[in-house]
Amino acid sequence: MVSDVTEDAPQTRDWPTGIGFVGLGAMGFPMARRLARQGYAVSAFDNAPEVRQRAATEDGITEVATAAEAARGSQVVFTCLPNDRIVREVYLGTGGLVDAVSPEAVTIDCSTVSPGVTRDVHAAFLDRQVHHLDASMLGSVPQAETGEIGFVVGGDPGAVARVGPLLEILGRFSKYAGGPGSANQIKLIHQTLVANNAVAVAEAMALCLKTGTDLDCFYDVVCNGGGFAYSRYFEKRVPRMRDGDFSPLFMLDLMKKDAGLAQQLARNAEVGTPLLDQVIDQLESASLGGAGREDFSAVARIYEKAIGRPFGREDSD
């Protein structure tokens, strides 16, 4: 695991004795399952009863009825939640984690949220001597399932070191970013590149198909020709689009949310983002067209409509 946090961290099952996990969605469930399969006792909560029940079928995971119950007695509490509003509610709302987490515990929010939300939660925990970390994730469902998530982590470096063994179970990479909210900022800026790339790739594919250019040849040139057009997104997503596969690895509506948070970060910093603004318009158009719960590569839908044909091969289902 790549990390630049060098302080010693516990390496035995004596710490932590229990882990709380709040948010068992597409990313959260495989993360909680990996921790349980490594021998940790995980108390897990999600708002959806059927999701909690699925988690409870895993050895080592105990289904609980509230987020606060997942936190009580846990030395580490992970959260993996959809947006700013829900993170504030879970941590700071009535019956929230701020009143349930034990002193000296560490909370780790893996959600993609505004830096200000993280700083507010961090401030609320100070009197309780609880360390709150923002641990923004890089990757999607396949990486969560295989333990290859990349983490960018902000907060107290000593607390980051304490939870290092847990992050090693969940991911292949961990980079310390600085104080509270710093990891959120890096993740949001990172997402501007991802969103921009998704739209640029869709435009290039549309241009290939509309002009009769051999798209398979173009793919080989981009991936293997040594030019600067290559990206991991291009290599991984173009074959799926050619197969007509937009099943969600990371939903378009979540990418739209992340890009919007990045846009607000830029507004607050008085930085113009004309390219990002146009990309968000395209994501919104795709969402309004019904692609919001598909993979974010489904921004291609609006380009398919524009050229009058799908990106998939003629022989694909």
Length of the chain: 317
- Which residues, 6+ apart, have CB-to-CB distance to 10 below 8 Å? 162, 165
| 210 catalytic per annotation | no
What are the respective helix, strand and coil percentages of the chain, to the nearest 5?
50, 15, 35
175, 187, 210, 257: which one is catalytic? 187
Cα–Cα distance measured from residue 41 to residue 39, given in angstroms and rounded to the nearest whole number: 7
- Which residues, 6+ apart, have CB-to-CB distance to 7 below 8 Å? 157, 158, 161
Q: Which residue carries 């469930």 as its tokens?
A: 29
- Which residues, 6+ apart, have CB-to-CB distance to 49 below 8 Å? none
317 near 276, Cβ under 8 Å? Answer: no
Catalytic sites, residue numbers = 187
